[in-house]
Amino acid sequence: MAGIEDTASLATAEADVTHDAARRLDAVFRGGAGVFSVLLVLIAWELFARSGKVTAFMLPPFSAVVERIYVDAVSGDLWINLGLTVARAMTGFVIAAVLGIALGASMSRSRLIRWFFDPIISVGFPMPKIAFLPIIILWLGVYDVSKISIVVFDAIFPVVTATLAGIAAVDRELIWSARNMGASEREVMWQIKLPAALPQILTGLQVALPISLIVAIIGEMVMGGYGLGGAMMSASRFADSRGVFAGIVEIAVVGYALIKTMAVVRRRLLVWHQETAEHS
């Protein structure tokens, strides 16, 4: 019997090692495929820009754009503009996240609050909120308050809808069991509903994060001043093609970094959830 148990244990260990190796190989393959596709696009950009079919003004080579980014980094302009854009986007995102989750939870608890806000959310969610930018400029001016406000106004809608949908999908038996054990409504919300709705809430936050960055840059383009969007518009006014394309590359890198960071945060917060177990 001992020999059979040892053989079974060895087979289980070998299966675990094989599964782990396959998972690592799959992760390496997916990461390599992503890097390869990006490198292919950049190489094609460089070759086409140097082919003579377009002028350097229309499409500067990628190497020239990288050189411009390096010059801006050495001079400090890149870090000033990057810091301001990320600060505005993340400030608006955090405010939208807190207010959106609070409003979504309140709407799920109170019929009166839901009756009042549900039509506003239903009408406002599909419409382009950036259309309110001129009104915000009229009311708040062209300073950071207005740039952050338009980010909050645009990013809060997916957070509210995700919170509402997540809480509505919570297993009713969990709620009934908690109430039968004497839990108050506040305890049910904090200990049952919100943790159970966390995957969907995080999905809403993952949607709101790139929206925050996009809207922050659009606000800078329209209102001017420092920031990646403002720097791009300034370069455009002076026919600085390399400056414009440098801004595009910088925004792409920042957006990719923010999305990857949010994905890591999601995995850490949902380490207990089934979706994390399936990808581990």
User: What residues contact residue 270 under an 8 Å CB cut-off, 6+ apart?
Assistant: 198, 199, 202, 276
Residue 17: band (very low, low, confident or very high) from pLDDT cuts 50, 70, 90: very low
Model pLDDT for residues 63-122, shown as the tens digit of each residue: 999 999 999 999 999 999 999 999 999 999 999 999 999 999 999 888 999 999 999 998
Residue 236: both structure tokens together: 């455009």
Per-residue pLDDT at 11 = 46
pLDDT at 16 over 80: no
Per-residue pLDDT at 182 = 77
Model pLDDT for residues 148-164, shown as the tens digit of each residue: 999 999 999 999 999 99
Model pLDDT for residues 192-246, shown as the tens digit of each residue: 888 888 999 999 999 999 999 999 999 999 998 889 999 999 999 998 999 999 9
pLDDT at 173 over 90: no
Q: Which of the residue ranges 20-34, 67-81, 130-144 would you say has the lowest mean pLDDT?
A: 20-34
Closest listed residue to residue 232, CA positions, set 91, 65, 62 = 65
Whole-angstrom CA distances from 155 to 122, 261, 278 are 15, 18, 30
Residue 172: both structure tokens together: 């009713």
Separation between Cα atoms, residue 67 and residue 73, nearest integer Å: 10
Residue percentage of the chain with pLDDT more than 90: 56
